[in-house]
Amino acid sequence: MSIDLRFRRDRSLRRLAADLFEGGHGRASAARALGIPEEAVRKWQQTYRAVGRDGLLNMGKAHTRYDFETKVAAASAVVDGGVAKPEAMERFGIASLSPLKEWCRLYREGGAEALRPRAKGRPRGSGAEAAPRTREQELEERVRKLEAQVAYLKKSIALKAELRSRGGRRP
């Protein structure tokens, strides 16, 4: 029987970790007490310091959306100001290190404008409005459709004839 590893470190374990953090334990002693890798506890500790106990316990339920100003301020503090990423997480209330790393990369590559929100989804229409078609273009399209229809019918007739010649009976 397989074990679902996504639920190996659930909310109750994070609650115990938060209790240990509040008690003054570091990540190494918390990891030993909980019996989990220190790397996981390190991430939990960063989240705990940045957004507190509730943020740690609600971790993984929904993605937090940050506004443009917060992204720019955090990224510029890390890239231009030399602030450590965990400290920036605490200062700006960022729950996870992953988005901060991404914002810093985008900020280095394209500046503040690279962090602007982009429209999601498929763009409407084909872009520019299509000019009205001429009568000649409409007729050409009609001819193409009819030629395709004739080709389809010819193939269908040929296939039926081939089946008839093989089996000796009509389909």
pLDDT one-digit tens code per residue, 61-88: 667 788 999 999 999 999 999 999 888 9
- Residue 126 within any structural domain of the chain: no
What's residue 5's pLDDT?
A: 47
Rounded to a whole number, what is the distance in angstroms from the first to the last CA of the chain? 52
Task: For 111-162, write each residue's pLDDT tens digit.
Answer: 989 999 888 888 776 656 667 889 999 999 999 999 999 999 999 999 999 9
- Residue 2 within any structural domain of the chain: no
* Domain tally, the chain: 3
Residue 162 backbone class (left: φ over 0; alpha: ψ -120 to 50; beta: rest): alpha
The answer to whether the beta carbons of residues 18 and 53 sit under 8 Å apart is yes
- Residue 15 within any structural domain of the chain: yes
pTM for the model stands at: 0.54
Please name the residues in contact with 4: beta carbons below 8 A apart, sequence gap of 6 or more. Answer: none
Q: Which helix (H) or strand (E) holds 69?
A: helix 68-79
> Percent of the chain, pLDDT > 90?
33
45 and 86 co-located in one domain: no
95 and 80 co-located in one domain: yes
- Calpha distance 8→12 (Å, rounded): 10
- Residue 25 within any structural domain of the chain: yes
What's residue 62's pLDDT?
A: 67
- Higher pLDDT: 29 or 140? It is 140
**Residues spanned by the domain of 170:** 136-171
